[in-house]
Amino acid sequence: MSEPPRLVVLISGRGSNLRALAEAIRQGRLRATIAAVISNRADAAGLAFAAEQGLPTRVVPQAGLSRAAHSDALRAAVLPFEPRLVCLAGFMRLLAPTFTQAFPNRIVNIHPSLLPAFPGLDAQRQAFDYGVKISGCTVHLVDDELDHGPIVMQSAVPALDDDTAETLAARILSAEHKTYPAAVERLLHEPWGIEGRRVVFQSSQSA
């Protein structure tokens, strides 16, 4: 049997989406292997989880580095692991074009809103404050603009009248944990292409 495709996961914090990817792999819902977990922060809780799982970890600190220099250092850290996909999972640093160009259409991100609504920081609170009745999460390919690349998969959740920003965020997070592994599985194992801004899975096209 051929080796499952390799992922490198980039994190900055608690790493619950990293855990969701690892759990999906363990359960056979995601046919992949996590080749490495890389963080810009040595104190990211997700790094401890990765180490417990025996996954290779790297820290690429950004202190004192320009975005371009940090992205170069990240690219050098990621390349030896030869990932099919680079998965951003709460990675809180914008990547320079030298990074995105090194992995064309092979970087994915999960964002806690239905893009293009509410890009950027604190998306769940932005949606809550706006008063939306539906929110959700978006898995998208990463390009050089913030939370902008072609959409791979979205899941919607209701925003309820008795929600707080926190309860809405928790509902979105559970959707993220299902959606991210499912989107990565499709990207890895189904034929797809990009038409304009649209990610098109050939198996989803009508006859």
Name the residue nearer to ligand GRF (CB basis): 151 or 195.
Answer: 151
Cα 142 to Cα 59: distance, rounded to the nearest angstrom: 21
Q: Which of 70, 111, 140, 177 is catalytic?
A: 111
Query: What are the C-alpha distances in Å from 32 to residues 24, 54, 79, 156?
Result: 9, 16, 17, 26
Smallest separation (angstroms) from ligand GRF to the CB of 16: 3
Smallest separation (angstroms) from ligand GRF to the CB of 108: 11
Q: CA dihedral in degrees (77, 13, 118, 204; nearest 10)?
A: 60
Smallest separation (angstroms) from ligand GRF to the CB of 109: 7
Q: Is 189 a catalytic residue?
A: no
CB 34 within 8 Å of CB 11? no
Name the residue nearer to ligand GRF (CB basis): 82 or 166.
Answer: 166
Q: Which residues bind ligand GRF (CB under 6 A)?
A: 11, 13-17, 46, 89-90, 110-112, 173, 176
Name the residue nearer to ligand GRF (CB basis): 145 or 195.
Answer: 145
Name the residue nearer to ligand GRF (CB basis): 111 or 186.
Answer: 111
Which residue sits closest to ligand GRF, CB atoms considered? 90
State the amino acid at position 178 in one-letter form.
K
Smallest separation (angstroms) from ligand GRF to the CB of 177: 8
Active site residues: 111
